[in-house]
Amino acid sequence: MYDGDTFFSLTMVARFGLVCLSMGLAALTAAAFIKLTCRMFWPLRLLLAPAFLCVFVWLSPQAFYLYYMMLFDYLPLQNVVQSPPRPSQIFHLLGFSGKAALSHHATGVLGWGLIVLAILGERAVPSKWFRAVLRL
């Protein structure tokens, strides 16, 4: 399924770094979602979950590009952020019906994770320590 995915053209160390960056950005997005919506009624949180996914899809390419700049010497410093994604793009990510790429499927998993967080609210946060950090 992921035969032509560029992830597999990277070295093992570069893949590990990319996975760590991806997980960090996803955790940051989820933490911001919980922090900003924890006091809201769940239907409103449910409406905001795709909006947070949209912001992630819109802005995260710059972080990934900066990471690739560290890996490849020939990449120039530039802004790669484009216009925000269309709602149809978000629906394709959530439905796993877009491009069969690891990054697209991981983004879809993040989107569904945000939806679960929206439904469960603060109950989805596993530990008291993490809840205390989110209250800061």
Q: Does 127 have pLDDT greater than 80? A: no
Q: What is the mean pLDDT of residues 18-25?
A: 96
Q: Token pair of 127, please?
A: 């530990």
Q: Does 131 have pLDDT greater than 70? A: no
Is pTM beyond 0.75 here?
yes
What pLDDT digit, counting tens, does each position of 50-80 carry?
999 999 999 999 999 999 999 998 999 999 9
CA 135 to chain centre: 22
